[in-house]
């Protein structure tokens, strides 16, 4: 309907022009109070002395509406004078969001962020669509955290000075608890191993559950658990693993959540070729490879790759290279993973000076005899 009204208005304006182009001699702006005339003029695509055109009118109309400063915009041409009739959006005089329990879903910091992100702070121009977006987001947020029976109400108060106060009240009610937590499709890891990755699940023994709140659903914890599940599989060589389905179903009769996670493991990749790039110094690739406790054909184990890289870094650090940048990448090769390890050591470090302080009873030379490195020698992490 607003678009029809817009085009009907513009149609009337164009028809009123007739076949002869009209020149705007004057622009009258009606209805502004807090917003300056200059601000309104900055949104118009024409000015006094211009020939009025359909394109300029449409652009001016669209600019004024898109500014979010006005709830109503009308353009009329009267005796070569363009009448711009406006209704300003109100200014927010107060914004209050109340009724929530701190840190259950919301907290005071989140409320402050809401005011900023949705332009609902005191002194801001009130735009209804921003409030509508906020209410939708709040409803989704509470539902995603299992507060299916929460209620959100809005009370507004607009005064004669075109200022509006907003009061949003949230009645959270009880959170729906987890009734069942199921994982299917898993073969490599047991269901217990995978459910332990989630900081939630089926209720524990009553007294224990009272303290652990294990059956309380939390969307962030749930998403973190899903990511931990993926990481657990990929660390064992299942690089194609997917959570093909994750359902959180609410049963309104029992007021419980039933969670079903389906895993598609894919294949477990084996180690293919391991090769090194970068600056190997005087070290052979075979000696470096021996630090990684994996052979070609073994099932991929990320923990062993990491442990091997740590040992390689120690070798460099004991040779004076205190700072070593090591990056590893894997590339699929049928059912194998080729592993590339790139090593880039910084400059070699020498001991310039050894300063001893805090010794009041022991002589410096006694302390120095206990230090295995001397000034001028190459740095070694193991010695330190």
Tens digit of pLDDT for each residue in 93-139?
999 999 999 988 999 999 999 989 999 999 999 999 999 999 999 99
Q: What does the pLDDT read at residue 4? A: 42
Q: What does the pLDDT read at residue 2? A: 47
pLDDT digits (tens, 9 = 90+) for 321-376: 989 999 999 999 999 999 999 999 998 877 666 666 766 676 656 555 556 666 66
- Residue 304 above 90 pLDDT? yes
Q: Which residue do the tokens 């513009």 mark? A: 10
Which residue from 272, 239, 286 is spatially nearest to 339, judged by alpha carbons? 272
Q: Which domains does the chain have, with CATH numbers?
A: 2-88 (3.10.20.310), 91-171 (3.10.20.310), 177-264 (3.10.20.310), 270-345 (3.10.20.310)
The three-point CA angle 308-310-315 to 5° equals 95
Band the pLDDT of 8: cuts 50, 70, 90. Answer: very low
Band the pLDDT of 11: cuts 50, 70, 90. Answer: very low
- Residue 225 above 80 pLDDT? yes
pLDDT digits (tens, 9 = 90+) for 35-89: 999 999 999 998 998 888 888 888 999 999 999 999 999 998 888 889 999 999 9
Q: Taking residues 171-183, report their average pLDDT.
A: 93
Residue 261 CB burial class (10 angstroms; 0-12, 13-18, ≥19): buried
Band the pLDDT of 202: cuts 50, 70, 90. Answer: confident
- Residue 152 above 90 pLDDT? yes
Band the pLDDT of 377: cuts 50, 70, 90. Answer: low
Q: Do the Cβ atoms of 172 and 104 come closer than 8 Å?
A: yes
Q: What does the pLDDT read at residue 205? A: 53
Question: DSSP secondary-structure letter at 378?
Answer: B
CA 110, CA 117: separation in Å to the nearest integer? 10
Compute the CA torsion angle 119, 124, 129, 135 (nearest 10 deg): 60
Instruction: Tell me, rounded to whole angstroms, the distance of Cα 248 from its chain centroid.
Output: 21
For residue 314, report the phi and psi dihedrals to the nearest 5 degrees.
-60, -40
- Residue 384 above 70 pLDDT? no
Q: What does the pLDDT read at residue 358? A: 67
């Amino acid at each position: 309907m607003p678009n029809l009204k817009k085009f009907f208005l513009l149609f009337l304006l164009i028809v009123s022009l007739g076949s002869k182009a009209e020149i705007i001699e004057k622009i009258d702006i009606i209805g502004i109070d807090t917003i300056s005339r200059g601000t309104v003029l900055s949104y118009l695509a024409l000015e006094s002395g211009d020939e009025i055109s359909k394109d300029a009118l449409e652009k001016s109309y669209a600019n004024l509406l898109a500014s979010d400063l006005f709830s109503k915009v009308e353009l009329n041409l009267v005796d070569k004078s363009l009448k711009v009739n406006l209704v300003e959006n109100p200014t927010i005089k107060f914004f209050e969001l109340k009724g929530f329990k701190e840190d259950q879903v919301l907290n005071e910091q989140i409320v402050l962020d809401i005011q900023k992100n949705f332009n609902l702070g005191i002194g801001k121009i009130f735009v209804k669509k921003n409030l509508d977006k906020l209410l939708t987001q709040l409803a989704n947020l509470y539902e995603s955290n299992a507060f299916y029976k929460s209620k959100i109400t809005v009370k507004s108060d607009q005064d004669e000075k075109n200022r509006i106060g907003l009061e949003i009240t949230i009645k959270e009610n009880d959170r729906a608890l987890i009734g069942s937590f199921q994982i299917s499709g898993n073969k490599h890891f047991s269901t217990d191993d995978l459910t332990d990755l989630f900081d939630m699940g089926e209720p524990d023994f009553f007294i224990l559950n009272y303290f652990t709140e294990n059956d309380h659903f939390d969307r962030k914890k749930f998403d973190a658990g899903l990511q931990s599940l993926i990481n657990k599989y990929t660390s064992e060589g299942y690089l194609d693993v997917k959570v093909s389905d994750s359902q959180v179903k609410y049963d309104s009769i029992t007021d419980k959540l039933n969670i079903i996670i389906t895993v598609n493991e894919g294949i477990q990749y084996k180690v293919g070729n391991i090769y090194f790039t970068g600056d190997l110094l005087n070290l052979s690739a075979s000696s470096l490879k021996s630090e990684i406790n994996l052979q070609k054909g073994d099932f991929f184990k990320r923990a062993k790759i990491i442990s091997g890289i740590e040992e390689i870094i120690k070798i460099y650090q004991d040779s004076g290279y205190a700072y070593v940048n090591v990056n590893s990448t894997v590339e699929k090769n049928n059912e194998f993973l080729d592993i590339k390890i790139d090593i880039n050591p910084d400059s070699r470090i020498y001991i310039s000076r050894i300063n001893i302080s805090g010794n009041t009873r022991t002589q410096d030379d006694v302390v120095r005899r206990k230090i295995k490195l001397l000034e001028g020698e190459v740095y070694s992490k193991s010695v330190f």
